[in-house]
Amino acid sequence: MHQPHIDVPHTMRVVDSHTEGEPTRVVIDGWPQPAGDTMAERRDDLRARFDHLRRAVVREPRGHDAVVGALLTPPVHADSAAGVVFFNNGTYLGMCGHGLIGVVRTLEFLGRLRVGHHQFDTPVGTVRAELADDGSVTIENVPARLHARDVTVEVSGYGRVTGDVAYGGNWFFITHVRAVPVDLAHVRELTRFTQAVQDAIRAAGITGADGADIDHIEISAPPSRADADARNYVLCSGGDYDRSPCGTGTSATMAMLHARGQLALGQPWRQEGITGSLFTGWLTAGANGELVPHVRGTAFVTSESTLHFDPHDPFRSGFGCA
């Protein structure tokens, strides 16, 4: 059935939070519901009919390149709390680890969810989250896996770069190459380097399963904190970097380490992000032997606001490069 294109509403209510430094903007109301019986269909309908709303909510002048938006929908499964589609300045995400932690804390803030276990439907599968008394949230992600190991690409200006392709709810290329120091002082250079790696991967036709675009590039380096196992820098699909240690990236990293015999089931993996914040993760075995990642972190609500979209505002649908 033909669905009409909807213009930007006059207002939208949002709650902003950050998870270990990375922002999440949950749309509470004002965004018309997408059509579809599955979350993948709803994501596709958002892309087809509401893409200008994605840009309006997360891009400048109301947002910025690091913001991940979350649109809540009715659940697909009766025992889920909600459906959620994550998006950023450039596209839609399969899953988002920091974003789910932000959604849980936002729903708690709104009095819609309490301490305990909750389930959410996403375009890549159903995920779980446990909200603890201390405000920490542990997510149980979709299964993660190593897809291809020791993949080498020639990166213009940097030479040969080798890494692994792994899935953790999004597709990652994970490299240990130290072309640029992995610290906040070098974040612009890290972004340039990882964008060049991404260009090289795409030019070489390297993909995830079924031709999936590898739209996250992760550099794994030694930690700066005594309580961490590694530190990462993650280039996200919108072209900006993750301020948190990246939940789906931590999931993909743990699957890669497990496949390489470097991380046992149940063994904690403490992933430091580029801003120095920390996720603690571990893997368990699913019913069919799949690797189920668990990632724990904390989010804080930073604001509750109403976005205004004046019909005369030439930037009511946002602007930005991605």
- How do beta strands 82-87 and 145-155 pair? unpaired
Q: List the interface residues with ligand PYC, window 213-272 (CB under 6 A).
A: 236, 242, 244, 246-248
Q: Is 96 a catalytic residue?
A: yes
What is the length of the chain? 322
Choosing from 68, 72, 93, 96, the catalytic residue is 96
Least CB distance from residue 308 to ligand PYC, whole Å?
27
Can residue 68 be called a binding residue for ligand PYC (CB under 6 A)?
yes
What is each CA distance from 119 to 140, 253, 318, in whole angstroms?
9, 23, 32
| Per-residue x/- track, 20-39, ligand PYC (CB under 6 A) | --x-----------------
CB closer to ligand PYC, 196 vs 236: 236
Q: Sort strands 230-235 and 216-221 into parallel, antiparallel or unpaired.
A: antiparallel
Counting contacts by CB under 6 A, is residue 102 touching ligand PYC? no
Which of 58, 49, 44, 50 lies closest to 89, judged by CA? 58
- The closest alpha carbon to 175, from 210, 201, 209, belongs to 201
Phi, psi for 70 (deg, rounded to 5): -135, 120
Interface map 80-99 toward ligand PYC (x if CB under 6 A): -------------x--xxx-
Using the structure block, give the residue that is written with the tokens 């002082």. Answer: 185
Q: Does 139 bind ligand PYC (CB under 6 A)?
A: no
Q: Is 236 one of the annotated active-site residues of the chain?
A: no
Q: 299: number of CA atoms within 13 Å, CB side?
A: 35
Active-site residue identified among 246, 252, 257, 263:
246
| Interface with ligand PYC (CB under 6 A) | 22, 68, 93, 96-98, 236, 242, 244, 246-248
Active-site positions read 96, 246
